[in-house]
Amino acid sequence: MIAKKIGKKGRKYDSGITRRVSLSSALLITTSQFHIYYSQEARMYSMATFFAALSTFAFLIVSGRFQTLRRFGTLAWILFSLSITVLVFTDYVPIFLIPVFWLYGILKKKDGDWWLRFVASFIPLTILFLIWLPIFKIQAENGRWLLSILPAWKSVVGGATVKQAVLVWTKFVFGRISLLDKKLYFLLIGLASLPILTSFYQATRKKERSVVLIWLWLILPLSLGFLVSFIFPAFIYFRFLYVLPAFYLTISWGIYQIKSKFLSRMVFFTLIAFNFLSFLIYVYDEVEQREQWRQAVSLIEHNAREGDVALFEYPEPFAPYRWYAKGKINALGATDSISADNQKTSKITREIVENKGGIFYFEYLRDLSDPTRVVERVLKEEKFEISEVYNFVGVGQVFYWKR
């Protein structure tokens, strides 16, 4: 809302990013299935994207890229300071955007007064981070512990691998879609990549100083994130949603460097067409939609008998289950920790199922937390048998065991 309000006063840009580029990139990101998917959930990635865009917008003002907004200089510095502070405390990975601003200032050879204001704008972030540092150390230590006891967790949180790098491209290009027909899927990725690669090529042909910041925003966070993930895994496509605005700004800039109006429009509308195609697949194919926790909870609470219990391969019921649960059935975790100990988990499970007639058993993350199937073994030893099996997208199978 802040960016929109200030943006109305700055419709005449003195940079190379014209109003047409701004409007077309806005339309591209609005129709992006990747952007739509994460804007519909409560996690922080969409919020981080907003503050990344807001901080970059404020930075462009304080860097003198908008003549009509220069009178808002002091307010822009305050906006920049606040937005980078909120950005970093929204999610850790967007911290890779911060070096973009420093490098841009160096490349543009800003004067001493500008650097003084720039450094001062980081004071709130620095103070708050120092206060937060003890908690950050605990979080980092917990992360290392988790990786030490669950090496497979690295594949969940991402890492510096060719697969993860390719996933960034495929998700940016065609959204959070993964068709069962892989030949068709890769064909669509290839076709959708053609107009984007054409736009990137055109964007690199004309050396325009005003788009240097956008190129840095696109390339530097991804590069730094990939390199840091050799030490601590964090490179996974959805954590870099905050780079998506730069992705579409660069594409739009490239489109308007095409000399032929017909070709320029054809490239643009082809991109829009692929965005709509991925969105339609997302809307009409439930396999491509998010985890069906609400449906799972609803079915279980509707079918539960007196004395039944919902059982999870985790120390407690998963957060999505608790969010939708109405308390109609007791829900408990069967393992002693995120990595199940044989004896402790066996004891916990036996105590839970004692005198129970039916168990709704969730296999969600079972291969990660209980690869030796301790909980299932105990259920069999306690004379339980599988009576029903329910399948939910993203949640996996839910088994109803009864004696």
Q: pLDDT at position 7, please?
A: 36
309 and 267 in a common domain: no
Listing from the earlier edge strand, what are the strands of the sheet with 309-312? 330-333, 309-312, 358-362, 396-402, 385-392
Q: pLDDT at position 12, please?
A: 41
370 and 257 in a common domain: no
Give the count of domains, the chain: 2
Residue where a domain stops, chosen among 288, 322, 351: 288
265 and 316 in a common domain: no
Count CB-CB contacts under 10 A for residue 276.
12
The first and second tokens of residue 196, run together, are 């984007």
Return per-residue pLDDT of the chain as tens, 403 residues. Answer: 433 433 333 344 444 456 778 888 889 999 999 999 998 887 889 999 999 999 999 998 888 766 656 667 789 899 999 999 999 999 889 999 999 999 999 998 888 888 999 999 999 999 999 999 999 888 878 777 777 666 666 666 677 889 899 999 999 999 998 888 899 999 999 999 999 999 999 988 876 766 889 999 999 999 999 999 888 888 889 999 999 999 999 999 999 888 888 999 999 999 999 999 999 999 888 878 788 899 999 999 998 888 889 999 888 898 899 999 888 888 888 888 877 788 888 888 888 888 888 899 999 888 888 888 888 888 888 888 888 899 998 888 899 988 8
DSSP string across 347-392: HHHHHHHTT-SEEEEE-TTHHHH-TT-HHHHHHHHTT-EEEEEEEE
284 and 299 in a common domain: no
Integer CA distances (angstroms), 281 to 34, 169, 274, in order? 12, 19, 11
Q: pLDDT at position 109, please?
A: 85
The first and second tokens of residue 191, run together, are 């076709």
Nearest to 66 by CA among 110, 2, 10: 10
Q: pLDDT at position 362, please?
A: 92
257 and 125 in a common domain: yes
175 and 299 in a common domain: no
Residue where a domain stops, chosen among 233, 268, 288: 288
Count CB-CB contacts under 10 A for residue 142.
10
Q: pLDDT at position 189, please?
A: 95
Residue where a domain stops, chosen among 271, 288, 305: 288
307 and 239 in a common domain: no
330 and 273 in a common domain: no
252 and 210 in a common domain: yes
214 and 165 in a common domain: yes
314 and 174 in a common domain: no
Question: Cα–Cα distance between 315 and 344 in angstroms, integer?
Answer: 11
311 and 265 in a common domain: no
Q: pLDDT at position 11, please?
A: 44
Nearest to 184 by CA among 192, 194, 176: 192
Range of the domain at 333: 293-402
